[in-house]
Structure 1
């Protein structure tokens, strides 16, 4: 049997870095799923792309954008009434940057 591409210990390590709490069943499932993804990526890496021209984007068509259509918005007083505190026609929030 070939060496595992990713081990349960590596999954636990990545989970700790991401501050995720995984039980043993989740670690086993994630090890299997991530292993399958990494095996697929390794197979893709083996593909011969020497005759393929590098591309910056796949599509050749521009993104289709919808036309702007003015609509009636929400009433400012009703919206501001939903917040705990307002100031100068907007929501008041606690300061989060030290001066």
Structure 2
């Protein structure tokens, strides 16, 4: 265990996370954090030369679809339920003087 997590570190992380930890929970968190840091150290030993950095595990392609108009001028049906209408538009109360 090359990374030593101090009680002050656990207190600080608890403050940042707005958690009140008991002494037992602090000891458990200390062990968990040490295990995580050891695992990260183990990953740092991997040979990543020639591996390009990536933002996703799987290749991401343009996921946008073509913009296809599906409803044409359907103004009469849209305005059919309007409480008030004027000149083919919704009429709303005046809000600005």
TM-score (norm 1): 0.52
Is 1:45 matched up with 2:44? yes
Q: Which residue of 1 aligns with 2:24?
A: 25
Structure number with bigger Rg: 2
The residue number in structure 2 matching 1:7 is: 6
Whole-angstrom CA distance in 2 between matches of 1:4 and 1:42: 9
CA distance in 2, matches of 1:61, 1:3: 37
List 4+ stretches of structure 1 deviating above 6 A.
Answer: none
> Structure 2: where are the runs of 5+ without partners?
64-97
Unaligned runs of 5+ in 1: 64-99
Query: Aligned runs of 1:1-99 on 2, under 5 Å?
Result: 4-60=3-59
Give me the CA root mean square deviation: 2.1
Structure 2 contact 2–38 (Cα < 8 Å) conserved: no
